[in-house]
């Protein structure tokens, strides 16, 4: 019996069109599948947590689906993990958007609303600005200040894990890395060639064959 090829699990917890991230990974030649039941996944090569809409609704749906347990286990085990948009926000302890609703608590801090005086949500292409010392694995091989597509009203706080920002009424966290945990506030699956390059860098971190 042939062993199953290691796969990237894209967590499908019933929020919006989560299949777009899976399709982008498959386009890159990566083995990726939507997962609705934690029992379906034994040892994923990587895990992707997409998210659209409101923090509270996403957090509750993730826990109700049982996939929150899978997410925490993967992170604890050092499995490469990518949070996208609200999926990134869920890595933090909570959000001003949903007081009292806990995130995964992997990263310290509370997600906050975008700066006063800017239009919310930010729905536009915006440039990334690299931040911090050392190379960011998600941005390896990308040109300086690449354009990415954003749709959001809230963003994580700036911290040591922030590797890129965008300018929207001031610096706004746009990408994070800490160990095997990665996150993007922008949508790489909707950001053309530059977004696909970000996803390709994540795929490389998982070690799966393309």
Structural domains present in the chain: 8-206 (3.40.50.880)
pLDDT digits 0-9 by tens, 2-43: 445 789 999 999 987 778 999 999 999 999 999 999 888 888
Active-site annotation holder among 7, 97, 177, 189: 189
Tens of pLDDT along 139-184?
999 999 999 999 999 999 999 999 999 999 999 999 999 999 999 9
Is 27 catalytic? The answer is no
pLDDT of residue 172: 98
The phi and psi torsions of 34 (rounded to 5 degrees) equal -75, 135
d(CA 101, CA 210): 38
Over residues 76-102, the pLDDT tens digits come to: 999 999 999 999 999 999 999 999 999
Q: Give me the catalytic one of 58, 161, 177, 187.
A: 187
The overall pTM is greater than 0.85: yes
Q: At what angle do helices 55-65 and 67-76 cross, to 10 degrees?
A: 90
Residue 85 bears catalytic tag: yes
pLDDT at 135: 82
> Percentage of the chain surpassing pLDDT 90?
88
Select which of 85, 97, 161, 166 is catalytic. 85
Six-digit token string for 128: 């990334």
Asked whether 56 and 48 are in contact (CB, 8 A), the reply is: no
What does the pLDDT average to over 134-143?
92
């Amino acid at each position: 019996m042939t062993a199953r090829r290691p796969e990237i699990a894209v967590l499908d917890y019933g929020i919006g069109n989560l299949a777009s991230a899976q399709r982008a990974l498959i386009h890159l030649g990566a083995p990726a599948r939507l997962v609705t039941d934690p029992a379906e996944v034994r040892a994923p090569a990587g895990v992707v947590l997409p998210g659209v809409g409101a923090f509270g609704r996403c957090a509750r749906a993730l826990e109700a689906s049982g996939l929150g347990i899978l997410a925490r286990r993967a992170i604890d085990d050092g499995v490469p993990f990518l949070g996208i948009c609200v999926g990134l926000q869920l890595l933090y302890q909570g959000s001003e958007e949903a007081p009292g609703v806990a995130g995964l608590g992997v990263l310290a801090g509370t997600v906050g609303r975008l700066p006063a005086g800017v239009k919310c949500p930010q729905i536009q292409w915006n440039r990334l600005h690299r931040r911090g010392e050392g190379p960011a694995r998600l941005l390896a091989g990308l040109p300086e200040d690449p354009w990415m597509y954003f749709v959001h009203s809230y963003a994580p706080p700036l911290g040591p894990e922030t590797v890129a920002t965008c300018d929207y009424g001031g610096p706004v966290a746009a990408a994070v890395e800490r160990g095997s945990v990665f996150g993007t506030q922008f949508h790489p699956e909707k950001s053309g060639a530059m977004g696909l390059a970000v996803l390709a860098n994540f795929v490389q971190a998982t070690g799966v064959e393309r």
